[in-house]
Structure 1
């Protein structure tokens, strides 16, 4: 063989060696692995699966992450398997695909429902059954809520539809719910309603102490209450001739309870409100030598003139109930102030609820 032939043969041998080294040596395989990984990543991104993570182990593309359905997982695997790499394809005999795809790291996680308004209700029946209905943020929170309920109502918890959803107004949702369940455990009957950032607990209990404990616990978490004590009456001590004592008697009986009206009307809405007014009527009759001024107030919803009329009508409605309970009409005065005297911010539902109120003031002798 001549010099040229030897030279050409040498070049061919060197080329074959280089090709073998490119395919089978660690640095050649690593280069192909990186290139293939980049190709798979780009293909998945173009197919809408950019949230998945890709790592290459040799010629295996390992995918991981969360997808919303098995169909989405199948589509992602197909896209990854069909990814093209000019430097990698055809490296196997018969033109087989150079890379493989491992999708065991992909989890199918259904997207969580987001609801508005975000609500949770609890009802305590006369048989001490607790019925829960509404939403919590995750399964751990749901189990914690049910554990609290089961502790306070052992064997008597009915979890109708406590579901998992996004939309809770703040991280205190579970704390407020637990406090409301605790409040229900001290009542004879009652219910709580949580709606976004507002929380209201209403019901009946047999003692003033229980009512005060509930009011304090709920108020500490920004909620409101309307707890009546049906059997509580004005102290049976005959006529009271001290204005301050009469005022304190009204305040003790009313506590943090509200006289509730139907929305936008002067109709007294709930039986607990009527029971409260019956007790206040008894107190007024014991203070018959003093005037009792009834002041109605509203929040800022609606027209100011309409609010003034509404507050007046509500004050008159309260006076009429007291008169029907035997209070001398001459002892009572009723005024409406509309939305002019807020005691809380009207920027929140809780503040508006506080501003919608009836106040009683004992004044000078008749």
Structure 2
């Protein structure tokens, strides 16, 4: 899929409406700032945050609490919208992801953060950037016709989960089709779980899910054939191995039907449980685990001269950033899944807090004569 999926449930649709605000306005609601020009279509801020998920909101709140002027540009389509619940969020366990973001947005607004309900369609430097000068600046053009001028930019656009091109697979994404044992594994504990191989890391994924169920089947699909160590791991953990590709996935009242096509006509499963043994057979599971390609939403970063990096595992791409969140592009910072494909909600928020503090400190230090 090219874009994150959003489930069409009344609860999630209401949360999305709350995020996007009133829709009958010529321009999004934005709080005017003394630094803004008379032009209502141009906002001026010290920091522009692109993306209003956990990382972007956390950065904006830290900056606003340090009395910095901040504008957040967000279209209200967070990556985890397909999921009904967010887990491992201390004090907010099981909260709907859209509700969590809506609460964070209200908190940011209380500190004076301004929001533009739109996407950023283009970005450019407004001042020449040199290694000898910190006088950087940016202008962002949005899909709503509002321009933002800022001294610093925080990229909090996250990533897109690109699923294998298997008919029906995306229908259960975030519910019966999952990828993270820590985010959703508890909810499918004890069920028959099928792990669809996409890369060599899929064997590691199967290993983790074996802690949650003794009925795990590894379907090789596009993953390389197991080496000796991987074969030993599958056998010792009782994980069934099926050397087949997934042809289609269909959700039913009794589970999820997976149609398989054997890689070899004589292929047979290895492990502790019978599975599909012949060509074009179907197996039924309670949940499917699959490793998507985690593609960084890096278009704006690249417009500003940045280059994304492939993850060493081959599982995705990200914006290279230092531990502080600073990128190779002066004045541009990255938080959350934009810079770390493994970051969960709390980790993304943590990176936002760190980046907000670093930017504030940088502003202060730049005002001190050398």
TM-score interval, smaller chain: under 0.3
Larger Rg computed on CA atoms: 1
TM-score by length of 1: 0.25
RCO higher in structure (CA 8 A, sep ≥6): 2
Higher helix share: 1
